[in-house]
Each structure stands twice: as C-alpha cells, then as structure tokens.
Amino acid sequence: MRGRVARSAFAIGSASLVVLGSGWLAGCQQQAEPSEGGGGTAQTDLKIVEQVQIDQNGAEVKPAEGAKPAAPAGDGKAQCPPVSLAMAGALNGPDAALGINIKNGIQLAVDEHNAANPGCQVQLKTFDTEGDPQKATQIAPQIINDAFTIGLIGPAFSGETNATGDVFNQAGLVAATASATNVTLSEKGWKTFFRGLANDGVQGPSVANYLKNTLKHQKVCVVDDSTDYGLGLAQSIRETLGPVADSACNISVKKGDKDFSAAVTQIKGASPDSVFFAGYYAEAAPLVQQLKDGGYEGTFVSADGTKDPEFVKQAGESSKDALLACPCGPAVGTFAEDYTKKFNQEPGTYSVEGYDLGTIMLKGIDSGKITRPDLLEFVRTYNGQGVGRNYQWTPNGELTTSLIWIYKVQ
C-alpha cells in the first residue's frame, strides 16, 4: 500500500513537506494487479528480518521488555448491540499487499474478539480504494452513512487520507490510519485523525542519520517516485543528510515506471555508498534489479513502502542485503503465530498496526463506547501497550513516542 501512510521532527517535516505524502501508501492510483507490480517474480529464500530500532539520531534503542500487549478477546463478558468497524485501503492494484496486510490484522483482532464474546459480535466492513484518492472520496460517504459503523481503520495511504480527512472529521468518525505517514496529515485540525505509527518527519531524519552517523556513508543518492509519499519522505531524507545527499544524483522517477536505465546511469556515475529510494515496492523491485544488473555494488535502502515480501519476491536475489526502514513494528509472539495459522502467510508490513488499532477500538466497544462520539473519546484518551508499541496520542493525533525499525533482506 505504498503512498499510504503519511509521517520535532514534525517541525522538520511540516516545514518542508508541502506535498501530501501518503505515508507510504499514499499516492497510488494504479489499476494493475499486484503481480504486475514490476520485475515479475523470482524464486528466493530471502526474507525481511528486523535488525535494530533507532531514534531520530540514528542511534539504537533497545525495545522495551516485559510489557504485555492488549488482547482483543478481553474478558469474554462484553455485551453490545450490532456495531461495525470499517477498513479502507488498497485491496487491489500493484500496492495491494499493504492494504491486505492491514485488513488481515484487523480481521484477526475482530475474529478473536467475536469468538470470545458471544454477547458482542462486531462486524468488519472493508472498502477497496485501490490507493486512489479519487476512489477514496467516492467510498467515504458509504462509510459515514452506515449508522452501524462507529470506527474506521484507514485510509491506508497518505493521499487518500488527505482527500477524505475532512469528511470523516465532519462525521465525527474516528479514523485511525495504520500506515499513512505524511507529516502534514496531523496539521489539518481534524479531531478524528489518529496515526498508529511514526510519521515521515520522524522516519526521514532517523534513517538519514542512521546512514550518515551509524553506517558512516559519505555519499547517498536519493530517488523519489513523485508521489505524495515519496516526495515527502525524500525531502526529509535529503534535508537531514545535507551535503551527504549528492546533488549530482538527486533523482525523481514516476510511479508505474519500469525502465530505470537513465537513473542507473546517473547513480553509477556518482558511485554513492548507498541509494535511498522513497517509493513503493512495485518500482523498488525493478530499480534494484537494474542497479545490480548494471554493476552497482553499494547499499540499496528504502522504507515502509518497499518493506513487503512482494519486494523480495519480485526482485529476487537482487534484493539481498537491502536495508528497509519502517515505523511499523515487527510481528512477534502469539500474534505472529495466530496470524500465520489463520492466513497461511506471515504477517506483513502494517499487519501489526492493523491488529493493534482494531484491538483498541474493540476494547472501546467492550467498555460500552458504542456511539461515534464515545468511541472517539475512548481512542483520544487511550494509553496502552500493543504488539507494535505503546499507543497514546497527542491532541493532533500523533503518537507520544515513536521510533523506527531497520530491517534487512537476508
């Protein structure tokens, strides 16, 4: 779901990000099937493995230990009238894997809740935006006009979140995104917007400082995909890198591109320590393939828009040793086991956030918050541990604490 998520580093991002990024998932407007995302598919045993959690200086932060995440099952005694939660995001198109990851995470939470609480059966209603802001604006009225729907997890991408935020705000419907990271989304004055992960104003400086300060890279080429998400993230990366971001290979490509020969030539001429790509896996896969085929031996780095098994599947061995940053937390413990068993695949990017945000809303419903105003107030004042992190929000819908994870394809 690239383009989806929109990202004080907030000050850094908000001053510089004039475009409304999708936080990964946001600017996608493609219509193709996921298998057409680029580069075909390649057989490989490589996986995306978590490495280290970092702060905005790029320094390692040890994960908290011992905190037990909230469980959607609760005590099994909940009673409620028929109510529903909605999910909105890309379920078809080249970036659909991200939306499906979120949907599955929420579905697991809802199913665990309903199995344990016969007196409170909550329905999950899903809405496919294909990551397209226009389609999202057509779907938003369907969500708010359903009297049974009292909470929304989504939209997934930043562009579609920006396009629909006013609608959900006016309807008083809590809208918690699991993936939209564009910084400016929390600056709109929406009272119903909540971001379930760090924004690009946190991610950009964190990753840039990790490359510059921790890995000691002295020259980085930054490539963006011209989407809301990619432009915003790349801007934050470039600003933090400063002169380390080589102006000779400051490159913009287009969403949907498959031929990156001009960019590869430019990058090879600069011979950087690393290439940072701000965009989605559908373009990251053919880009890294063409870089490796062209003889580039530096490090390929990208972010949450690329951090999906589809990237590895489509890029094959060319993806080996790629570093992928993400504000999304790794799937651990019984959540990972239950998810894999239910969906016959491991949790993907934002599955944890979907599960955690679904769990928070289910806890609200179980506590008797069965109207939109009551559930909104429950989320606004929530403070609790999830699988991915502790969830507590500032008045503008940002998490009070946010860190970034570095993953590696190995």
- Residue pLDDT, tens place only, 118-168: 999 999 999 999 999 999 999 999 999 999 999 999 999 999 999 999 999
Per-position pLDDT tens, the chain of length 410: 334 333 333 233 333 332 333 343 333 323 233 322 333 455 679 999 999 999 999 999 887 777 789 999 999 999 999 999 999 999 999 889 889 999 999 999 999 999 999 999 999 999 999 999 999 999 999 999 999 999 999 999 999 999 999 999 999 999 999 999 888 999 999 999 999 999 888 999 999 999 999 999 999 999 999 988 899 899 999 999 999 999 999 999 999 999 999 999 999 999 999 999 999 999 999 999 999 999 999 999 999 889 988 999 999 999 999 999 999 888 888 999 999 999 999 898 899 999 999 999 999 999 999 999 999 999 999 999 999 999 999 999 999 988 899 999 99
Strands 174-177, 149-153: pairing kind: parallel
Domain 38-63+200-328 has CATH 3.40.50.2300: yes
- CATH 3.40.50.2300 domain residues, the chain: 38-63+200-328, 83-198+330-401
Looking at 2.40.40.20, 3.40.50.2300, 3.90.1150.10, 3.30.70.260, the CATH number of the domain 83-198+330-401 comes to: 3.40.50.2300
d(CA 69, CA 104): 18
Residue whose structure tokens are 């570093």: 323
Name which of 74, 52, 88 is nearest 362 in CA terms: 74
Task: Note the pLDDT tens digit of each residue in 20-72.
Answer: 333 433 333 232 333 223 334 556 799 999 999 999 999 998 877 777 899 99
